[in-house]
Chain A
Amino acid sequence: MKKINDLENLAKKYRRDLFEKLLIIKQGHPGSIFSMIEIVVALYHGGFVNHDSEKNIFLDKVLISKGHATATLYPILRDFGILPKKEWDNWGHKESLLRVFGNNSIPGIDVTSGSLGHCIGVGAGMAISFKRSKQNKKVFVIISEGELYEGSTWEALLLAKHNELDNLNIIIDINSLIILGRTKECVNLDPIRDKISGLGINTLEVDGHNLSDLISTFEKSKKTGKLNCILAKTVKGKGSSLMENKKDWHYWNAMSEKEIEKTRKELA
Chain B
Amino acid sequence: MLQRDAFIEEITKSLEKDKSIFFLSADFGAQALDELRNRFPNNFLHCGISEQAMLDVATGLALEGNKVFVYAMAPFLALRSIEQTKCGPGLMNLPICLISVGIGLGYADAGPTHYTTEDFACFRSIVGSSIYTPADSISAKLIAHKLLEKPKFSYIRLDRDALPNISPEITKADLDRGYKTFGNINNDKIALISHGRMLHKCLEIYKNESDRFVCVDILRSKPFPKNLPREFSSCKGIIVVDEQSPSGNLSSCVFEAFSEQNYFPKIISKSLPERYFFENGGREYLLNKFGLSYDDIIKACEKII
A-B contacts besides A111-B92, A130-B64, A155-B50, 4 pairs, CB < 8 Å: A112-B87, A121-B52, A121-B57, A126-B64
Chain A residues touching B, majority SS: helix
Contacting residue for B45 out of A103, A128, A155, A158, CB 8 A:
A128
Question: How far is it, in angstroms, between the C-alpha of A123 and the C-alpha of B56 when the chains are bound?
Answer: 8
User: Could you say which residues of chain A place their CB within 8 Å of the CB of B42?
Assistant: 132
Q: A122-B56, A159-B50 are in contact. Are A112 and B91 (CB under 8 A)?
A: yes
Minimum distance in angstroms from A136 CB to a CB of chain B: 14
Q: Tell which of B52, B57, B58, B60 has the most Cβ of chain A within 10 Å.
A: B60
Interface contact A115-B87, CB-CB below 8 Å: yes
Interface contact B92-A156, CB-CB below 8 Å: no
Interface size on B, residues (CB 8 A): 28
Question: How far is it, in angstroms, between the C-alpha of A152 and the C-alpha of B51 when the chains are bound?
Answer: 9
What is the 8 Å Cβ interface bit string for chain B, positions 83-126, against chain A (1 contact, 0 not)?
A: 11001100110000000000000000000000000000000000
Minimal Cβ-Cβ distance residue in B for A118: B56
Question: How far is it, in angstroms, between the C-alpha of A179 and the C-alpha of B43 when the chains are bound?
Answer: 41
Q: Which residues of B contact A (CB under 8 A)?
A: 22, 42-43, 45, 47-48, 50, 52-66, 83-84, 87-88, 91-92
Interface contact B91-A125, CB-CB below 8 Å: no
Minimal Cβ-Cβ distance residue in B for A120: B56
User: Could you say which residues of chain B place their CB within 8 Å of the CB of A104?
Assistant: 63, 92
Interface contact B83-A125, CB-CB below 8 Å: no
Interface contact A128-B52, CB-CB below 8 Å: no
Question: How far is it, in angstroms, between the C-alpha of A123 and the C-alpha of B88 when the chains are bound?
Answer: 12
Interface contact B50-A125, CB-CB below 8 Å: no
Q: Which residues of A contact B (CB under 8 A)?
A: 103-104, 110-115, 117-130, 132, 151-152, 155-156, 158-159, 162-163
Minimum distance in angstroms from B224 CB to a CB of chain A: 27
User: Could you say which residues of chain B place their CB within 8 Å of the CB of A123?
Assistant: 60
Interface contact A122-B52, CB-CB below 8 Å: no
Q: A128-B45, A128-B61, A159-B50 are in contact. Are A115 and B56 (CB under 8 A)?
A: no
User: Could you say which residues of chain A place their CB within 8 Å of the CB of B88?
Assistant: 118, 122
Minimum distance in angstroms from B50 CB to a CB of chain A: 4
User: Could you say which residues of chain A place their CB within 8 Å of the CB of B53?
Assistant: 121, 124, 152, 155-156, 158-159
Minimum distance in angstroms from B141 CB to a CB of chain A: 27
Question: How far is it, in angstroms, between the C-alpha of A155 and the C-alpha of B57 when the chains are bound?
Answer: 10
Contacting residue for B63 out of A120, A122, A132, CB 8 A:
A122
Question: How far is it, in angstroms, between the C-alpha of A130 and the C-alpha of B59 when the chains are bound?
Answer: 14
Minimum distance in angstroms from A150 CB to a CB of chain B: 9
Minimum distance in angstroms from A230 CB to a CB of chain B: 20
User: Could you say which residues of chain B place their CB within 8 Å of the CB of A152?
Assistant: 50, 52-53, 56, 84
Question: How far is it, in angstroms, between the C-alpha of A158 and the C-alpha of B47 when the chains are bound?
Answer: 9
Interface contact A122-B66, CB-CB below 8 Å: no
